[in-house]
Amino acid sequence: PDATTSTPVAKVSQYACQRRTTTANSNKIFTDAFEVLAESYEFNEMEGQSLAFRRAASVLRSLPSKIQSLRDAESLPFLGKHSIAVIEEILQCGFSMEVQKILSNERFKTLKLFMSVFGVGLKTAEKWYRKGLLSFTRGLFPTGFLHYGDISRAVSKAEAQALGNIIDETVHAITSDALLTLTGGFRRGKDFGHDVDFIVTTPEMGKEEHLLTAVIESLKHQGLILYCDYRASTFDMSRLPNHKFDAMDHFAKCFLILRLDGSRVEGGLCGAEGDGRGWRAVRVDLVSPPMKQYAFTLLGWTGSKQFERDLRRFAQKERHMLLDNHALYDKTKRELLAATTEQDIFAHLGLQYIEPCQRNA
Ligand code: ATP
Ligand code: MN
Ligand code: MN
């Protein structure tokens, strides 16, 4: 082949933490299809296949341009026979028959609807489905239905900003040296999210949990709390990091539904102003790690989920280390590695630093 016409393609890493993935996804037509397949496998408890499609989607999201032919896809990591066949079908006719079939499947549609309710996972959705509940009946599931319309609507950047201001005022009225950080999808530069995630902490050792409960109390007094699920800390420094991604972290946290007034939002509320209420309900997560664990929590809560999974997999497989939201443990040296910034953690792992806006894996 003529060396002047063939462009050398940089090898794509099998780890999302060695790829730079912005929110600009050139391969949405393929990744949307893969996510449907991943979800469908998940609903059928075929975790291996589900993860395979999530990984394949994540690889495609990191590519700088759209896949034009099968040749572009064949050498990529995690693109197996099945995902290649789906790409081929989409390249040929613009859609995948298999995905269309799933999207019109009664069980799939129903489980997806049930799981869109805050607090409802696959187990509950399955149970309801088996009972023959094909759609919601008001009053049947009071907790999940709390503000269902509002919280199933996306949160805008301006709304996230307004909530940040409210929580910032609240936190600093309690302790002037408190630290509030926006994390989750909005820290990665997303324009919309399903919730808003914050880390709240204080340099005063051991006071962070008290700070969180004081914040909740104050929000309550301001009449802003519509729902609060508070989880006390079960953090234990003597435990080694748990590299399994799905394990929840042990810091004090709360899953909230807050009332956000339109008057606080620059440019007004996102679509909800029409019904004349002038406010909307928004899902907010607050987590309070001790300052010493701040960097690990920030890295863990910034996401994306696929990025976090691969950070942990990389640490384990390539470095013989255990990483979670609390700590990084070197199994060879048998010691915990301290970090005050995310950069420290990437450096410990021997990884190039990846900016939050490049973690949309
Ligand atoms: P979205 O915009 O849809 O909210 P997101 O990336 O912010 O997307 P979240 O579900 O809010 O998604 O989660 C944010 C990050 O926090 C993820 O990386 C997730 O792994 C992490 N996370 C969320 N809940 C917990 C928890 N209880 N324990 C540990 N990590 C968590
Ligand atoms: Mn979020
Ligand atoms: Mn969240």
ipTM of the complex: 0.95
The predicted pLDDT at position 9 comes to 61
pLDDT tens-place string over residues 231-286: 999 988 888 888 777 678 999 999 999 999 999 999 888 765 556 789 999 999 99
Centroid of ligand 1 to alpha carbon of 94 (angstroms):
32
197 belongs to an annotated ligand binding site: yes
Place of tokens 């006071």: 207
191 is catalytic: no
The predicted pLDDT at position 87 comes to 98
Q: Which part of the chain is CATH 1.10.150.110? A: 16-103
CA distance 147 to 259: 10
What residues have their beta carbon closer than 5 A to ion ligand 3?
Answer: 195, 197, 285
CA 358 to chain centre: 14
285 is catalytic: yes
Q: Tell me the CATH architecture of domain 159-361.
A: 2-Layer Sandwich (3.30)
The predicted pLDDT at position 3 comes to 45
Poorest-confidence range of 20-24, 149-153, 165-169?
149-153
User: What is the average pLDDT across 300-324?
Assistant: 97
Contact 326, 290 (CB under 8 A): no
**Would you say domain 16-103 falls under CATH 1.10.150.110?**
yes
249 is catalytic: no
**Cα distances (Å, whole numbers) of residue 130 to 111, 114, 125, 135, 331:** 10, 12, 9, 12, 45
Q: Which part of the chain is CATH 3.30.460.10? A: 159-361
The catalytic residue among 150, 195, 249, 310 is: 195
Residue 121's SS3 state is coil
The catalytic residue among 72, 168, 285, 344 is: 285
Centroid of ligand 3 to alpha carbon of 195 (angstroms):
6
The catalytic residue among 150, 197, 249, 324 is: 197
- For residue 313, is pLDDT > 70? yes
Report which bound ligand comes closest to the CA of 151.
1
